[in-house]
Structure 1
């Protein structure tokens, strides 16, 4: 078929042929600038990842333990969980800011709060002051973490949206690398600066965002939702077509966004919090979103993310230097696998990555449990070394899906009017799972040791079954097409057809319901 024509049929993307094959991120000045702004948003995840690895490292620094009187049990759980408690306090406000003020102002406000909180954390004189600062960091992070993934997915060039949005959470490991090697480099400083320096560096991403984020482009989808169509069209044209507002891709994107917003308001009634659970499509979305939020923290990874030193202690590795060194190498390992997986999301697909990831975690966590039991019962050094190997293999499996996809999959399956609200539900579920983990894990490890791992082995079986039956493939579709998948084929085709300028009566919806319309293809000559 001639390139000047568009075919709309089940399974055919309406925009893919409009992408300019010569316009690559590395040879187009405006795409380079767009991706620079996206990088500024992506480092929010770096700030989040920094925290978990920093707290891991601080627990191995004698000066930190001595200064705060060797926190353990519930106090140690509170020190780790308090950031997520702070985030939980901020999440209810985030949809009103992201949908009301816009994505950029929300990110700026959150980054500003985090800068102030980091100063407080670095200058902490007591454990109460340190806990309060971490709570405030979490509160600020709730705003930046609510706005940045939405901006990334809503302004990306279509062919890069999947990998870039998936890179967002993969850079969590980038923050872990910085924190792990910072604590490794400072733990021998014979003063409180051994832990104050890592505390101060946690604010670096927020400083960059405060300085630059208000100069970045706003989401075209948010602009159109506020009736600012001209500004939205100019933004799409400037970054996606070198300023050409009549470019076929820009016109398609602009019309598709308007069509999807109109459909969500007038047909799907996707308005307000109640709409999240009012239709079968939205209930399916929320079931998946809440599940993957809990799965991302209840797969056994929480033991290593925040209590790696306790895991090492349980297998006889107590030297702080060795603990910090392994922690540092593990963060590099996670980043490498996370970035690899992000590059594969549009080639392999979301569903295969989720299933391969969960199956791998089940296998390697089970083997880690067996080896931990062998060390506990027989004191075998070989078993201890095997535990470390299986931790690395477990994380390679985890990183295939649960590092890159949990955020990108969540935001892409939500329609625009519900995207901020649905993402807030995801973040609340994530924080609740983290808070539970961070209180329960140290107590359970102290009480029953390696036997606690068996709980996670059983849970991973449930995760695999759930994901097999409920995860929907979304690759190679536009953001609006992806969101419409859950509202039925008729919704997806309606939005696509309107974007292409095809009257919706060209589609025989009665035939679609009977399953006999797969051969009904509408061809539009755009020449």
Structure 2
């Protein structure tokens, strides 16, 4: 690269910002795909007789196998703030990937339920660490104009892993041995392997480097991110680094204590915690959990019981959800976070009411048209979730928290998410068996409550710099040195400030 010789940033990191942005999108895709594969692999395995017969599954053991990954995620919550904050965002992703691969090997080699559950627990620990480490790395490397859609794409690519899992399950169902379920389990390592291969090509977060005293390294990263091409590139990057350092210093002065203690220290942070908890509940409790983990149960209630047909539908629904989620990612800065979430909540509530009614009336029908009418409603429900909640999952918790509280705040969000996932893994199978069609009406009524809470608490962040988002929460200290006089912009941060 012309202008300076790299001392800290690897020569593998491209100097072209456009190429680097593509690599960062790839990091988002593969880390999210790992999560999606893991969630969907259990859905696919539950369809395969070779899996259910090998472990002699019933409602209790099915719930345990599904719950194991959530147990691991809860155990991992204690690590998701200190590891990325202490060792760096990149190293945290590497650690998470290694942990996940170990769990995958144990799951695929399982000889009994205990071994399978232990493998799932280890996978849960690795995936929650990856899911908390990767979004901050992307947010702190990307310019504001790219942050929204890339972080939206991050969790939208959950469905890439889900689609890969569904296709592999569909292809392995004819294997006449336990490899019918072991192969889909083992191939879960593919996204993890790709994630490890991509890490050398992306830099560490400049904000993390500055916060941990590596200012020369941070300056070099900023020069690379800006496409340094002249002798003055390091000088410009140093000025940019100074702006970021000043912002971090003001945050540290305002929040001097441990991040966990600061989360409830001010009214603005308490509001953030309310939103993080509410959104954590929404990611699992709006009806999506049953589509992700109990699709075969829904299809059976709808009268679609053939294994081949169920696996085909699983593949198609993953493709559909992915396409809708990508569209939702690019519309977040058009429609707005709050409005798009409200639209999705209304859509999910209505479709769940309709689904419950149709299953009650036509669930025992053998008429194809009636069965597929129910299936159409399932697709509409999945579209509502994928359009609204999916692209918000990695974006919203990341952008509403300041740098110092970002890892801790995301950990709160994930903690609620995985805790509720654990509870639902144990209870959902029994609830669906005992309540039948009434289950969907109860879930829809619960969604009405969540929709009202979104209306009252969610803050619109469309088109705002992170400093402006902080202003909406009442963090006035962050605006020292903030230029609020630029006409038509609503205020801008000092020149060069990434965040």
In the alignment, structure 1 residue 35 sits paired with structure 2 residue 27: no
**1-side partners of 2:376 and 2:163: how far apart?**
19
2:7 aligned partner: none
CA displacement at 1:215 relative to structure 2: 4.8
Residues 31, 240 of structure 1: 8 Å contact kept: no
2:407 aligned partner: 420
Residues 467, 479 of structure 2: 8 Å contact kept: no
Q: Rate the CA distance shift 1:424–1:393 in 2: closer, same or farther, 3 A.
A: same
1:317 aligned partner: 304
In the alignment, structure 1 residue 187 sits paired with structure 2 residue 170: no
CA displacement at 1:492 relative to structure 2: 4.8
CA displacement at 1:256 relative to structure 2: 4.3
Residues 265, 271 of structure 1: 8 Å contact kept: no
CA displacement at 1:523 relative to structure 2: 13
For structure 2, the 5+ residue unaligned runs are: 1-13
2:95 aligned partner: 109
1:384 aligned partner: 371
**2-side partners of 1:318 and 1:478: how far apart?**
50
Match of 1:91 among 72, 77, 87: 77
Task: For residues 398-441 of structure 1, give each alpha carbon's deviation from its aligned partner in whole angstroms, at most 9, with x where no partner exists.
Answer: 11221000221001110011111111111111101111121111
Q: Rate the CA distance shift 1:524–1:234 in 2: closer, same or farther, 3 A.
A: closer
**2-side partners of 1:356 and 1:448: how far apart?**
28
Query: Number of matched residues?
Result: 481
Q: Rate the CA distance shift 1:95–1:214 in 2: closer, same or farther, 3 A.
A: farther
**2-side partners of 1:274 and 1:406: how far apart?**
24
CA displacement at 1:496 relative to structure 2: 2.3
Matches within 5 A, 1:430-445: 430-445=417-432
Secondary structure (helix, strand or coil) at the match of 2:335 reads: coil
Match of 1:45 among 21, 24, 32: 32
1:234 aligned partner: 220
Taking structure 1 as the reference length, the TM-score comes to 0.85
> Relative to structure 2, which stretch is displaced further, 179-188 or 153-162?
153-162
In the alignment, structure 1 residue 403 sits paired with structure 2 residue 403: no
CA displacement at 1:387 relative to structure 2: 1.6
Residues 301, 364 of structure 2: 8 Å contact kept: no
Match of 1:55 among 10, 18, 42: 42
Residues 220, 234 of structure 2: 8 Å contact kept: no
CA displacement at 1:116 relative to structure 2: 1.8
**1-side partners of 2:416 and 2:236: how far apart?**
37
Match of 2:187 among 197, 201, 218: 201
**1-side partners of 2:16 and 2:344: how far apart?**
37
In the alignment, structure 1 residue 134 sits paired with structure 2 residue 108: no
**1-side partners of 2:116 and 2:181: how far apart?**
11
In the alignment, structure 1 residue 172 sits paired with structure 2 residue 158: yes
**2-side partners of 1:448 and 1:122: how far apart?**
34
> Relative to structure 2, which stretch is displaced further, 113-122 or 391-400?
113-122
Match of 1:148 among 134, 140, 160: 134
1:509 aligned partner: none
Q: Note the aligned Cα RMSD (angstroms).
A: 2.8
CA displacement at 1:67 relative to structure 2: 1.4
In the alignment, structure 1 residue 296 sits paired with structure 2 residue 293: no
CA displacement at 1:212 relative to structure 2: 3.9
For structure 1, the 5+ residue unaligned runs are: 1-26, 507-517
Residues 481, 495 of structure 1: 8 Å contact kept: no
CA displacement at 1:468 relative to structure 2: 1.0
Match of 1:219 among 205, 216, 222: 205
Residues 374, 380 of structure 1: 8 Å contact kept: no
In the alignment, structure 1 residue 331 sits paired with structure 2 residue 341: no
